[in-house]
Amino acid sequence: MPQYIMERLQPSQSESELPHLYYNPKDHKIGEPLRPIVSEIKSLLAKLSSFLGKIICPLFDKHTHYALSNLITFLKHLKKFKTTTETNLYTFDITDLHTMIPQKEAVLSICEFLGRHGYQKIHGLSINTIKTMFLHVLENSYFVLQLPGMKPKFYQQIRGGAMGSACTQVLAGVYVKKNGRVNL
């Protein structure tokens, strides 16, 4: 790996902290269930995860014409679309998508996606190096949960990727595109 990339991805020992788990209500759903989020913004892996997301997301978007990255982009596309009273719009939601994808299979899906589209190196990194980096993020994802009045509990993310990890969205997108489903 080039030295300048290594230096950019080096975690700050003085500013890094163990990610923590918190919950956001899904206020658009009946009963307002909670969505677990792992805040990784200051984690030791945050820079690496962000880097992976930034280099792979544009490639996924380039080769996946039906993927829309956010609601604003979706609404812009919808404005251009001519609808009638017979137009139906369907959406789907995969429950707990980011945390349900199998880690190793998802990383292999990234490698296959890159190979299928003819990429041998991205930002000077081989596909094998990118694979190793994704596996490092996934296999070393730890977080803490501390409820009021209780001692903190420490966990390792052993399935999927953390909601809140910068590379998990593209990892899940590539995996679902390849497989068309999530097997539990």
Better pLDDT: 73 or 102: 102
Find where tokens 């609808």 sit: 83
Nearest to 168 by CA among 158, 160, 157: 160
Helix (H) or strand (E) run with residue 181 in it: none
Going from N- to C-terminal start, the domains of the chain cover 3-65+95-179
Q: Provide, rounded to the nearest whole percent, the portion of the chain with pLDDT above 70.
A: 92
pLDDT, tens digit, for every residue of 35-82?
A: 888 888 889 999 999 999 999 999 998 998 766 667 787 788 788 888
pLDDT, tens digit, for every residue of 108-130?
A: 999 999 999 999 999 999 999 99
Nearest to 169 by CA among 49, 76, 66, 78: 49
Listed range (47-56, 131-140, 161-170) with the worst mean pLDDT: 161-170
Q: What is the DSSP letter of 21?
A: E
Q: At what angle do helices 46-63 and 168-179 cross, to 10 degrees?
A: 40
Residue 10 near residue 47 (C-beta atoms within 8 A): yes
Q: How far is the C-alpha of 170 from the C-alpha of 70, rounded, in Å?
A: 13
**pLDDT higher than 70, residue 17:** yes
Q: How far is the C-alpha of 3 from the C-alpha of 124, rounded, in Å?
A: 11
Q: Read off the tokens for 152.
A: 């903190």
For 25-94, give the DSSP string: E-TTSTT-PEEEEEE-TTSTTHHHHHHHHHHHHHHHHHH-TT---SHHHHHHHHHHS---TT--------
**pLDDT higher than 70, residue 133:** yes
Amino acid occupying residue 18: L
Helix (H) or strand (E) run with residue 176 in it: helix 168-179
| Segment 84-93 mean pLDDT | 80
**pLDDT higher than 50, residue 139:** yes
Cα angle 179-105-46, degrees, rounded to a multiple of 5: 115
Q: How far is the C-alpha of 174 from the C-alpha of 10, rounded, in Å?
A: 27
User: Looking at residue 184, what is its pLDDT?
Assistant: 43
What is the pTM for the complete model shown? 0.81
**pLDDT higher than 60, residue 172:** yes
Kindly indicate the confidence band of residue 83, based on its pLDDT and cuts at 50, 70 and 90.
confident
Q: Provide, rounded to the nearest whole percent, the portion of the chain with pLDDT above 90.
A: 40
**pLDDT higher than 90, residue 96:** no
